[in-house]
Chains A and B, each alone.
Chain A
Amino acid sequence: MSFLFPLLFVAFLGGLFVLTITKNTPIRIYPLFILSLAVPVGFSICSLLIFSAYLISPGQGPFISVIAALALATFLLVRVICNPRDNGSPEPTFQNAKQKWVHQPRLTKIAVILCFAVWIFALFNFYKLFQNVSLANIFGGWDAHFFWNVKAKFFFRNPSEWRGMFDSALSWTHQDYPLLIPGSVAWGWNWSGKELQIWPAVVAFSFLFSTALLIAWYLSSTIHATVGLLASAFFMTVGAYSFWGVSQYADVPLCFFITAAGVVLVQALRSKNTSLFCLAGWLAGCAAWTKNEGLFFMGWVILLIGFLLYIRRQKNVFWPRNLLLIGLGIAIPIAAILILKKVLAPTGDYLGSGRGLADYFHAIFMDPAKTLIILKSFPIYMFDSSSWNGLWIFFLSSIGLSLLMPKLLKDNSWVTAALSVLILLGYFIVLHTSPHNVTWQMQTALQRLLLHAGGLALLFTFEIMGRMIFPASHSEAEIN
């Protein structure tokens, strides 16, 4: 299993990174939290290291990036060993977990076991589907085959000519697109010294599975293990995710980073822990380092949190510091994006397209026919049951229920819904400005755009529905 070592190293590096940032943070079910973030965060670090190393010394790029990653892992490991975790509460041990389990009511135990069985069933189905479709087309869908992995080949095959990927002749590869996926693919190829056919599929599966784990962690830690397991199993049955995931598109990794940034932000707001603001910033920055749409998400996060921290400034005297910490987390990915878009590939569909503010204003507000097409398309795609298994209907129902019963919205749980709605609102506006034919654009992109907000929508739905059964779920006070 030649792909195992680069993957394990990525998980090790990402896990240490998250562990270092959150070591003094009170987080419930901490091992699952680390496990769900480890691989995607590891990929984000490795892709940024590759990008930086190739910028500094293209010919030595692969060597420098591996050495830098090893050095970073060693540094983080020493930090973790020398500064053990201290969040003011006793370290969870296997013995404690066993004690806690023994004292659970019998009905709860049966429910947890049943839900775990359902989760295993869903995981098995999901893996079989992924395996069979991958074997039928190991090279992935169009985007994966013809531009994400082409960029990875520029990284791998002749590092001194890697800048060829930004050549304007390759317009269909979108020269200014961020490089998290190509960097992650190149990482495995560089490590193993060959273009392993299985590696891009491994990267794609890692992001899907990490999203399922993240959902399980958040809801298990916030509501109850049964809710976490069922939500995670439900995610694995949503056809849109498995389809685009197995196609190796970047939309599932983007969904992961958006969802992760959202839930870490919610945890940060609940615990008022400064490290979590920084981690949320990093994850939001990684969303932008995955796809251009992540830039919009980053903007929404800064606006929403800035607004929240400002109106709550009486309770939280350090609000500018928290906002700065989000900015600090964002800084490295955004610096890479700026170098990419301003120096290496200064032309793109939006930035550098030559269109001015007046053009954008006209596109957004002066074309009612286009607006109507976009408005009609959203419900058609959202309520397609074969793709979503009813996710968006459940989400809208949960919003309705929470408006009827505002007590369900305790502990900032509304933030996930707000971000989800803001993302969709942003896309509704941006679709007006697309340089392509709007109908074609909706057919090719809308379902994938919905994926980005779907993770947060799913979390909100299960959190609200879960609170109905477990109204006394872990509160802010308990976390503190």
Chain B
Amino acid sequence: MKHSSITQTAFLGILFHVLIILLILLHHPPTPPSVASARELTNELFAGKDPFISSGAPFAAFKPFLPPHEKVSFIMDYPFSPYVRHIDRLYNAQSFLAPTVLTYEPDQRAAIVYCSNTSIAEQRLEETGYRILIPLGDGKGVAVKK
């Protein structure tokens, strides 16, 4: 390359890097969600504590009543589909109850019933052929096959 072309090229390169510096300095990271007592929470996490409650925590009540080493069905308001309302309940339950495997098909001996209210639960129990064994609240409980 000739001397003049090197200078022009270098100028272009410097311009690029100045632009990058500006982009970095002017970059506003997306406003983080406001977190109350961030320092305390960080300290607790760093100390190995677990200050956050898992979204699967409501399923702790079911745990003692589930048969060990067996799959368990999960009965919701509607039959399973990835797009059905409240499907996150199944995902939360699985995340909380692993290594128990939950199936969305009503094909296991025992089932977790997790419906929005008792009348829906009764209807779903009728459809799937289960009966409540351990009631755990409005529309919720551990059921067994009839």
Query: Bound pair: A and B?
Result: yes
Measuring CB to CB, which residues of chain A are less than 8 angstroms from any residue of chain B?
A: 1-3, 118, 121-122, 125-126, 128-129, 131-133, 135-136, 138-139, 145-146, 149-150, 153-154, 157-158, 161-162, 164-165, 167, 169-170, 172-173, 192, 194-198, 226-227, 230-231, 233-234, 237, 239, 242-243, 389-390, 394, 401, 405, 407, 465-469, 471
Query: With the chains together, A466 CA to B25 CA distance in Å?
Result: 20
Cβ of B60 < 8 Å from any Cβ of A? no
Q: Which residues in chain B, 82-132, are within 8 Å of chain A measured between CB atoms?
A: 82, 91, 94-95, 98-105
Contacts of B10 in A (CB 8 A): 468-469, 471
With A1-B46, A129-B30, A170-B101 as given contacts, are A233 and B13 in contact (CB-CB < 8 Å)?
A: no
Q: Does A2 lie within 8 Å of B47, measured CB to CB?
A: yes
Name the CB-closest residue of B to A2.
B48
Query: With the chains together, A241 CA to B99 CA distance in Å?
Result: 32
Measuring CB to CB, which residues of chain B are less than 8 angstroms from any residue of chain A?
A: 1, 6, 9-10, 12-14, 16-17, 20-21, 23-25, 27, 29-30, 32-33, 35, 38, 41-42, 45-48, 50-52, 54-55, 69, 71, 82, 91, 94-95, 98-105
Q: Does A468 lie within 8 Å of B13, measured CB to CB?
A: yes
With A164-B98, A234-B20, A389-B23 as given contacts, are A139 and B54 in contact (CB-CB < 8 Å)?
A: yes
With A118-B21, A467-B13 as given contacts, are A172 and B55 in contact (CB-CB < 8 Å)?
A: no
- Name the 10 nearest CB pairs between A and B, nearest first: A468-B13, A132-B32, A2-B48, A469-B13, A169-B103, A136-B33, A198-B45, A237-B27, A153-B98, A161-B99
Q: Does A227 lie within 8 Å of B17, measured CB to CB?
A: yes
Name the CB-closest residue of A to B95.
A150
Shortest CB-to-CB span from B82 to chain A, Å, is: 7
Name the CB-closest residue of A to B16.
A465
Contacts of B42 in A (CB 8 A): 131, 135
Contacts of B47 in A (CB 8 A): 1-2
Shortest CB-to-CB span from B4 to chain A, Å, is: 14
Q: Does B25 lie within 8 Å of A118, measured CB to CB?
A: yes
Shortest CB-to-CB span from A137 to chain B, Å, is: 8
Q: Does B52 lie within 8 Å of A131, measured CB to CB?
A: no
Give 11 A-B pairs besides A169-B103, A227-B17 with Cβ atoms closer than 8 angstroms.
A1-B47, A129-B29, A145-B91, A161-B99, A172-B91, A194-B50, A197-B50, A230-B21, A237-B27, A466-B17, A469-B17
